[in-house]
Amino acid sequence: MADLRFTGIGKRFGGVRALDGVDGHVDEGEILGLVGPNGSGKSTLINVLSGHYAADDGSITYGEANLTDLPPHRIIETGLARTYQIPRPFSTMTALENVSVPFMFGANPLSPQTARESAMEWLAFTGLDSLANEPIDSLNLHQLKYLELARALAARPKLLFLDEVLSGLNPTEITASIEMVRRIHSSGITIVIVEHLVRVVTELASRIMVLDRGKVIADGDPTLVMQDDAVVTAYLGKRSKRAEG
């Protein structure tokens, strides 16, 4: 079984502890929701687990592989991929070229020509096939978010981190995107979803992990976790502070 396990993850930026001894695991086949107030460390955790940042402390294993000191380009070979909260497409390439890049790298690299053909399938999956040869600056935010998804899927992941794929979308787009996440999951990909919209996460996730100020404060069944006292305080405490300020 390929489960992702991480223990004692710490990450500091200057004097700020973004992550402070975070332990956890992602089991194969689940959808794990990662929630928490602004600045709680959710995105940092994804950045560390996907290799975008190196952790200051702690260790990460995925199945048999020890990811802790692996350079980022090797991490994707083990089957982990991610999307970015703010889409970061390769700006001088077309949509198709963006999606074909991951096919050329990773565990089973394809030649650029075959990569293009395979990329077309994922573009079709995300409904972007009609935009395949368009330059990036002609895509709108919704399409860019889908492009992020298609590009991450092109890395042929077994586990996919989705960093706020719904933020900035309108209600219709959100509904379509949730459907998309379900389809990805049912194709056999384990999913970790970070999301601002707590209701969406509770609806999608089979388990929820709550972070607050760089620490895990709750972990478990979605409905139970969201009623947990610590979680309620983390969210409402912040809100009352904001009311005072």
Partner 1 sequence: MTTTNRNTSLITLAFALVLWFMPSVRETLDFPVFFLLFGYSLFFWIAQASSWNTFTGFSGYFSFGQGAFFGAGVYSVAVLAVKRDWPLLFTFLVGGLVAAVIGLIIGVVVFRLRKLRGEIFALMTLAVAFVMASVARVSPAIDGGQGVPVNTVELPEFLGDFPTMIFRLGLIVATFAVITAQSVQRSRLGWGLFSIRDDEDVAETLGVPTFRFKITALLLTAFIAGISGAIHSLQIGYVTIEDVFSIRVPLFVILMSILGGTKHWMGPVVGAVVVVTLNDRLNRAGFQEISDLITGGLLILMIVAVKEGLYLRMRARPLRTAVGFTAGLVIGFALGALDESLITLVAYGLGIAVLAVMLPLSWFARSEPAVTDDVEEVASHG
Which tokens sit at 169?
């979308």
Q: Which is nearer to partner 1, 84 or 226 (CB)?
A: 84
Task: Give the burial class of 21: count Cβ atoms within 10 A of its Cβ; 0-12 exposed, 13-18 middle, 19 or more buried.
Answer: middle
What is the nearest approach in angstroms of partner 1 to the Cβ of residue 49? Answer: 11
Whether 201 contacts 177, CB under 8 Å: no
Nearest-approach distance from CB 164 to partner 1, in angstroms: 7
**Strand order in 31-35's β-sheet?**
80-82, 159-163, 190-194, 31-35, 207-212, 215-220
Q: Output 104 or 178, the one with its CB closest to partner 1.
A: 104
Q: How far is the CB of 158 from partner 1 (least distance, A)?
A: 14
How many angstroms separate the CA atoms of 63 and 5, rounded?
8
Contacts of 162 by beta carbon, 8 Å cutoff, 6+ apart: 82, 83, 149, 181, 191, 192, 193, 194, 195
As measured in angstroms, the least distance from the Cβ of 147 to partner 1 is: 11
Nearer to partner 1, 98 or 218 (CB): 98
Residue with tokens 């650029």: 112
Distance CA 73, CA 237 (A): 40
For partner 1, give the closer residue by CB, 52 or 207. Answer: 52
Q: Which residues of the chain form beta strands (DSSP E)? A: 4-13, 16-26, 31-35, 57-62, 65-66, 80-82, 159-163, 190-194, 207-212, 215-220
Shorter beta-carbon distance to partner 1: residue 143 or 190: 143
Find the shortest distance in angstroms from Cβ 4 to partner 1.
Answer: 16
Other Cβ atoms within 10 Å of 202 Cβ, number: 17
Which chain residues interact with partner 1 by CB under 8 A? 50-52, 71-73, 75-77, 81-82, 84-94, 97, 100-102, 104-106, 109, 111-112, 136-141, 144, 151, 155, 164, 167-168
Nearer of residues 155 and 225 to partner 1, judged by Cβ:
155
The answer to whether 86 touches 24, Cβ cutoff 8 Å, is: no
**Least Å from the CB of residue 100 to partner 1:** 8
Least distance (Å) between residue 161 CB and partner 1: 10
Token pair for residue 14?
A: 């200057």
- Nearer Cβ to partner 1 (105/235): 105
